[in-house]
Amino acid sequence: MRFEFKPFDEMTPADYESIGLKAGLEIHQQLLTEKKLFCRCPAGHYSKTYDAEILRHMRPTLSELGEYDGTALMEFKTKKEIIYRIHSDTVCTYEMDDTPPFMMDEASLDIALKVAILLNLNLVNELHIARKQYLDGSIPTGFQRTTILGVDGWIPFKGRRIRIAQLGLEEDACREVSDIGHQRVFLTDRLGMPLIETVTYPDMKTPQEAAEVGEILRRLVRATGNVRTGHGAAREDVNVSIDGGTRVEIKGVPSLSRIPMLIYNEAMRQWNLLRIRELLKQRGITPSTFASGSEDVTRIVSKTQYAPIQQAIDRGEEIHCVRLDNFAGILNEKTQTDTTFAKEISDRVRVVACLTRLPNIVHSDAASETLSAKFWKLIRQRVQANPNDALVLVWGNKEDAECGCNEIAIRAREATEGIPNETRQALNDGTNGFERILPGPDRMYPDTDLPPLALTSDRVERARANLPDPPWKREKQYRKLNLPDDVIRMLSYSPRALLFDRLVDELEVNPMLAGVTLYQHAKALDREGLSLENLSDEEFISLFKAHRSGRLAREGIVEVVRHLITRNEYDTARNGGAPNDPDESIRSALDELGINPVPDDDLRKMVENAVHRTDFPRTVNTRDKKHRYLMGILMERLRGCVEGQIVSGILNEELDALDEVQERKARRKAK
């Protein structure tokens, strides 16, 4: 391994290639539905308050093929008490696992089906609901009901294909409130909301590519118009491996922009763990020669000045020491940015032994900052360690301290094997920490509460009919219409794409006008805090019909849109947004804005009056300037009523006429 890990900014694609980086994504996206997936509770209602609490424990069970899942066994070791906080508006007895599931929400299935088609997946013909075990308590049943709609799809990316492994439809989990010691607390409002999980193959070769593909996938699902947006509505997991490494999953990535740094650090961690394995091998430590021991050293260190241990003793806890034979120095080996191997151990102790108060270990590789040399010497004697051995102290009640010792030895031994199969959590500084052992297919179990559900070809065709072409196809079509780049990019992923097509194809609206209205104007309005989402497709259609019939000039469109959004928002707040007749909605908006037809004669008269005014500012002293000045004044009154082009034409005629009159006058004078 001659390669040296460089700082993040200096790593090149070639560097990543040399370590064999592979990254994949799992994107969880909440669907925009009224109800939850397997019960009739409302979806998307959040609340921090709660009415009741329920306590549960989880026990591992066998998989369908008769195996125990590793994660399940790990979670069982933690002996967590799990408390669920329940708000009566958002949770019923189903989520609390006191009522069997209801039939799957049809709307959710149809949305998921659309995404499956967009992802070019091989669709299954019959859905089987599975139970995916989660013993961390995030779901009260101990499993997530989940099903897959298709496998082995793809999306285009930079001239190649990123393969999609599968698309799942599943229920969302609880939100964690706290996890301290042996007690974990969850809020349950989000529990059971429909979610799709898109899993890619590990086809991304650099951290940046992973973020880019994440962005494409996110926009792709949004293109259906049926997914939730906003905080927590889309969540990404990243899986990372390097040559000789292990597929490690990083959970809870807060935003796509964080992905590159997380992947970089994980690649570095794996590369360093392989390096540490090599170091151990050179010392002759392999899985079979690995040795360790542990002792209760409470009495030896009872007089220490080191605060964390002193406090532990005050709490009546025991201090145990683990001896890792021939490990001296290893705990100080770097793993991630500003992180050493000792963190791998501390994480395990925190999660598995539930010793959540940090620091939860101290070790002899960083001896000087903790216990004084005198104590280390005594401990060393007690555990019969020689100077080549590393010592790790851990404290807690007897049971937890013993569990901690056990985990320390397990994690140290794993260093001789390489990189453990783990699920890790994304941390704010771009590094990651241990969350749990990576679950395998053994955690899947068929849901015996629900029968299989045929995914009929009718249903598939219906979904296909309601779906815009995939974004990459649309991009090509829009390019032919000569739209600006930013409009093309946005439209190809927009849930309004079908609307755009209807406007252009059926109403023969100028594509530029439609594109600019749906994107550039939308963006400007968005900055004013006005969201286009408040306008239905039907209202847009009526709006452009009014335009095509000459009732509304193009300059007035944005004005009407602004007015409609404000009015609809108000209506929604007042009466829950009862649907209104779109034609009527536009007619009344035009009335309210005073956009009325102007008869030709009146228009001519207005322009005539304008050109004959005498109070032009001094700077308005040429014909061009006059034209511009008068257009401003006229359009102020005529915006939306008459096309600017028409006004401009008449104005030119009148100015010409005036010029002629004045010329004649001048000539007469000259005579």
Partner 1 sequence: MSSDKYKGYRGKGLAVLKEHGVSVWSDVDVVAESGRFRGIILPRSETADENHIVLKLNNGYNVGLTADTIISLKEMGRREAHYKIPEKDFPYDSKKPNVKLFGTGGTIASRLDYRTGAVIPAFSPGELYGSVPELADICNLTTEKLFGVFSENMGPEQYIKTAKRIGEEIEKGADGIVIGHGTDTMHHTAAILSFMVQDSPIPIVMVGSQRSSDRPSSDAALNLINAVKAAAEGDIAEVLVCMFGPTSDQYGLLHRGTRVRKMHSSYRSTFRTIGDIPLAMINRKGLIHLRDDYKRRRSDRNAKINTAFEEKVTILYYYPNMLPDIVDACVDNNYRGIVIAGTGLGHVNKPLYPAVKRACDKGVHIYMTVQTLWGYVQMYVYETGREIMELGVVPACNMLPEVAYMKLCWALGQTDDREKVEKIMLTPVNGEITDREPYNGYLIYQGAIPEVQEFLRTIKR
Q: Which DSSP state fits 227?
A: B
Q: Which DSSP state fits 206?
A: S
Give the integer Cα–Cα distance in Å for 495 and 468: 8
DSSP 272-286: HHHHHHHHHHHTT--
Cα–Cα distances in angstroms (integers) from residue 558 to residues 391, 437, 521, 544, in the given order: 71, 55, 7, 11
Binding mask 82-101 for partner 1 (x = CB under 8 A): -x----x----x--xxxxx-
Stretch that binds partner 1, among 56-64, 489-497, 513-521, 611-619 (CB under 8 A): 56-64
* List 15, 18, 47, 54, residue binding partner 1 (CB under 8 A): 54
Binding mask 156-195 for partner 1 (x = CB under 8 A): ---------xx-x---------------------------
Residue ranges in 135-154 that form contacts with partner 1 under rule CB under 8 A: 135, 140-143, 146-148, 150-152
Min separation Cβ 127 and partner 1, Å: 7
Residue ranges in 425-464 that form contacts with partner 1 under rule CB under 8 A: 440-446, 448, 451-452, 454
CB 539 within 8 A of CB 585: yes
* List 125, 178, 572, 652, residue binding partner 1 (CB under 8 A): 125
Stretch that binds partner 1, among 50-58, 279-287, 363-371, 484-492 (CB under 8 A): 50-58
Min separation Cβ 441 and partner 1, Å: 3
CA dihedral over 110, 116, 120, 124, signed as positive or negative: negative
Min separation Cβ 209 and partner 1, Å: 23
Cβ nearer to partner 1, comparing 144 with 298: 144
Name, in order, each residue with C-beta under 8 angstroms of 543's C-beta and a sequence gap of 6 or more: 552, 557, 560, 561, 564, 586
Total residues interacting with partner 1, rule: CB under 8 A: 64
Please report, as a single letter, which amino acid is at residue 374.
K
CA atoms within 13 A on the CB side of 245: 25
The number of residues in the chain equals: 671
591, 592, 596, 602: CA torsion to nearest 10: 140
Min separation Cβ 204 and partner 1, Å: 19
**Is the peptide bond between 359 and the residue preceding it cis, with omega within 30 degrees of 0?**
yes
Cβ nearer to partner 1, comparing 461 with 581: 461
Cβ nearer to partner 1, comparing 147 with 272: 147
Residues 237-262 as b or e (16 or more Cβ within 10 Å = b): bbbbbbeebbebbbbebeebebbbbb
Cβ nearer to partner 1, comparing 28 with 323: 28
* List 11, 31, 72, 285, residue binding partner 1 (CB under 8 A): 72
Min separation Cβ 61 and partner 1, Å: 5
Helix (H) or strand (E) holding 401: helix 398-415
Cβ nearer to partner 1, comparing 119 with 490: 119
* List 124, 507, 512, 646, residue binding partner 1 (CB under 8 A): 124
Angle between helices 623-638 and 644-670 (to 10 degrees): 140
Residues at the site binding partner 1, with contacts judged by CB under 8 A: 50-66, 72, 83, 88, 93, 96-100, 121-128, 130-135, 140-143, 146-148, 150-152, 165-166, 168, 440-446, 448, 451-452, 454
